[in-house]
Amino acid sequence: MNLEPLLSDRLAPALEAVAGVWMDPAVRVSPHADFQSGAPLALARTLGRPPRDIAAEVAAKADLDGLAEIAVSGPGFLNLTVSDHFITEALDAMAGDRRLGVPLTGEPRRIVVDYSGPNVAKEMHVGHLRSTIIGDALARILQWQGHEVLRVNHLGDWGTPFGMLIEHLISEGAEGEHSLGDLTAFYRAARAEFEASEEFRTRARLRVVALQSGDPATRVLWRRLVERSEQAFLAVYDRLGVALGPDDFAGESSYQDALADVVSDLDRAGLLVESDGALCAFPAGFTGRDQTPTPLIVRKADGGFGYAATDLAALRHRVRDLGATELLYVVGSPQRAHFQMVFALARAAGWLPESVSAEHIGFGSVLGADGKMLKTRAGETIKLAALLDEAVARASAPEIGLAAIKYADLSGDRRGDYVFDVDRMLASTGNTGPYLQYAYARVRSLFARSDTVPGPVLLDHPAERALGLALLGWEPAVRSAAELREPHRLASYLHDLAATFSSFYERCPVLRAEPAVRASRLTLADLVAHTLHIGMFLLGIPVLEEI
Ligand code: ARG
């Protein structure tokens, strides 16, 4: 149930009659009434009439029978008060529907969600944590709406770093099995050797060539690195309760065979320019600080392909072979320009028809208590596992620690940075994951203590009415989270709902009420529990029946 458009639609004819043209009544939730429209104020200038007169005329003409009461307020607002009868009927219908009144979409899209994307032989860091958590929530929300969601994990498993790492492992006699932690250390040592030794650089380059040309011994070592890393990433997903599995890996390496073709396609379309031996594209509208066009390097001077080429091949594959109609890339904000250029070039090449959308879903950084990028004391990026360990160790149950971390990541606008503060995240009050878990468990406990069957909703107390209206906000909350790709809209909604339930519960006894009222209040409580349950599932926050 989305009351805003419902009220808007009913108000629009009256507004049109007064304005002489159609205009959006812009009905919004308001602290002064259930909903409010400021349209008469906007109209006053064009009509040259006092806004209150306009408001009164619209109110007199509006046909809101059975839905709401309308009244002029303040300088010319229209206050809308939804009728109790309408609310109770809507709640009773919601109570009888597993999806709480949100139908499956009638226009399912095929949506590729590219998220997590860690790099082989490197431990996942907090940036990957954000991508993993936000991407997973978006995938869940879109899937719940009825879209076909393809989760894709664009693993960084190819390129020069692997030549370097493999060469280092060979020269150390360390070709055997290693944990991801060890590999990360080897990687660091390889990097140092690469910087220090010309001779090693040459060997590392030759090793890249061996890898790319399919030298069997090199490939075996590389496969081992990839498999070891994949196992470690899958263990993290499992721990996070994230729905990314082995079949979702589509690493950069999987596009290697398509790269030559990508280049010749672009070349034939006249989109490539040679610059210092490299093949570059200059999609229109991208310039650097000094206004010179920014290149997207498609093939490097040494003939190797980089990150951009792989993303171009991946995009083409997703649209052409997977049939995607929507592409989402949940990747940190610093890569914004990369994706904008890839999308622009793909459009120019004809790989991204107008009917297919591509969006970079950027997000901000995780900061330490000092407001700077989260780093260890030694100045290294903090590993994801360490953060999880800390939250879980401090929480009274692992699910609570997990809820704390995930919710903290999802509850603010994703574009913003946030401070990693375990104490705040774990608090059982405030806008936190544990608060939702406690709220849910508290509502559920009512049912353990009652044998009354929930019954038709009655709205006698203002707190009941407020809770009823809050419940009807479910559909718009899910919709806006999905359309704007902003999980925090759903998080805020769930938090507000839990808080509204809490003030209802303080004022309106449930189990001690007389039978019909008790049955009604149990229906409200059941709706709250059900809404929190689905909502938390969509955010990937674990639900506990008892805490
Ligand atoms: N591996 C990349 C990184 O760690 C993220 C990959 C994102 N996805 C993509 N299609 N480029 O920055």
The verdict on residue 64 lying in a domain is yes
* Rounded Cα gap, residues 187 and 413, in angstroms: 34
Widest CA span of the chain, in angstroms?
A: 87
Q: Whose CA is nearest to atom 2 of ligand 1?
A: 117
The pTM of the full predicted model, rounded to 2 decimals, is 0.94
Decide: 117 in ligand 1 pocket, CB within 6 A: yes
> Would you say residue 16 lies in a domain?
yes
Domain count of the fold of the chain: 2
Give the pLDDT of the chain (547 residues) as one tens digit per residue. 889 999 999 999 999 999 999 999 999 999 999 999 999 999 999 999 999 999 999 999 999 999 999 999 999 999 999 999 999 999 999 999 999 999 999 999 999 999 999 999 888 888 899 999 999 999 999 999 999 999 999 999 998 889 899 999 999 988 888 888 888 889 999 999 999 999 999 999 999 889 988 999 999 999 999 999 999 999 999 999 999 999 999 999 999 999 999 999 999 999 999 999 999 999 989 998 888 999 999 999 888 888 999 999 999 999 999 999 999 999 999 999 999 999 999 999 999 999 999 999 999 999 988 888 877 666 676 777 788 888 999 998 999 999 999 999 999 999 999 998 888 999 999 999 999 999 999 999 999 888 889 999 999 999 999 999 999 999 999 999 999 999 999 999 999 999 999 999 999 999 999 999 999 999 999 999 999 999 999 999 999 998 8
Amino acid at 178: H
Protein residue with its CA nearest to atom 9 in ligand 1: 154
Distance 248 CA to ligand 1 centre (A): 14
Strand partners, 156: 119
pLDDT given at position 96: 93
Can you tell me the distance from the alpha carbon of 378 to that of 292, in angstroms, rounded to the nearest whole number? 38
CB 452 within 8 A of CB 518: yes
Question: What pLDDT, on a 0 to 100 scale, did the predictor assign at position 123?
Answer: 81
Tell me if 212 is assigned to some domain.
Answer: yes
Under the phi-then-psi rule, with left for phi > 0, alpha for psi from -120 to 50, and beta for the rest, what region is 77? beta
**CA dist., res. 387 & res. 378, Å (int):** 16
Q: Which of 197, 224, 245 is the last residue of a domain?
A: 245
Q: How far is the CA of 415 from the centre of ligand 1 (A)?
A: 17
Q: Is 318 in the pocket of ligand 1 (CB under 6 A)?
A: no
Residue 454 lies in a domain: no
- Of 245, 269, 298, the residue at which a domain comes to its end is 245
Q: What b-and-e string marks burial along 56-75, b requiring 16 or more CB atoms within 10 Å of the CB?
A: bbbbeebebeebbebebeee
Residue whose CA is closest, atom 7 of ligand 1? Answer: 117
Q: Using CA of residue 340, residue 346, residue 352, residue 354, what is the dihedral sign?
A: positive
Query: Would you tell me the crossing angle of helices 474-483 and 126-144 to the nearest 10 degrees?
Result: 120
Which residues, in sequence order, are bridge partners of residue 280?
273, 297
207 inside domain: yes
The CB of 230 under 6 Å from ligand 1? The reply is: no
Distance CA(499)–CA(63), nearest Å, equals: 34
Tell me how far the alpha carbon of residue 116 lies from the centroid of ligand 1, in angstroms.
8
Sign for the pseudo-dihedral over CA of 185, 191, 193, 199: positive
Cα dihedral: 235, 240, 241, 245 (round 10) = -40
Ordered alpha helix ranges (H), 98-215: 126-144, 160-171, 180-196, 198-212
Instruction: With CA atoms as reference, report the closest residue to 94 among 219, 192, 195, 2.
Output: 2
H helix runs in 365-397, sequence order: 384-394
Are 237 and 132 spatial neighbours (Cβ–Cβ below 8 Å)? Answer: yes
Of the candidates 72, 90, 76, the residue with the CA atom closest to the CA atom of residue 6: 90
Q: What is the dihedral of CA 114, 119, 123, 129, to 10 degrees?
A: -20
pLDDT at 368: 86
Residue 313 resides in a domain:
no
Measure the CA–CA gap between 245 and 242, rounded to whole angstroms.
9
Among residues 223, 245, 267, which one ends one of the domains? 245
AA letter at 77: F
Ligand 1 atom nearest to 331, measured from its CA: 7
Task: State how beta strands 35-37 and 77-82 pair.
Answer: antiparallel
> Any idea what the CATH number is for the domain that residue 68 is in?
3.30.1360.70
Output the residue whose Cα is nearest ligand 1's atom 11.
Answer: 311
Comparing C-alpha atoms, which of 242, 252, 241 is closest to residue 117? Answer: 252
CA distances from 448 to 416, 445, 479 (A): 41, 5, 32
Whole domain around residue 206: which residue ranges? Answer: 159-245
Q: Ligand 1 in contact with 329 (CB < 6 A)?
A: yes
Task: Count Cβ atoms within 10 A of the Cβ of residue 371 and give its class: 0-12 exposed, 13-18 middle, 19 or more buried.
Answer: exposed
Q: Residue 126: its pLDDT value, please?
A: 85
Answer whether residue 218 is part of any domain: yes
Question: Whose Cα sits closest to atom 4 in ligand 1?
Answer: 118
3-class SS of residue 373: strand
186 within some domain = yes
Whether ligand 1 lies within 6 angstroms of the CB of 159 is answered as no
Distance 65 CA to ligand 1 centre (A): 54
- CA neighbours closer than 13 Å in the CB half-sphere of residue 341: 22
3-state SS string over 179-190? CHHHHHHHHHHH
Q: Is the CB of 331 under 6 A from ligand 1?
A: yes
| Secondary structure letter of residue 108 according to DSSP | -
Task: Count CB-CB contacts under 10 A for residue 93.
Answer: 12
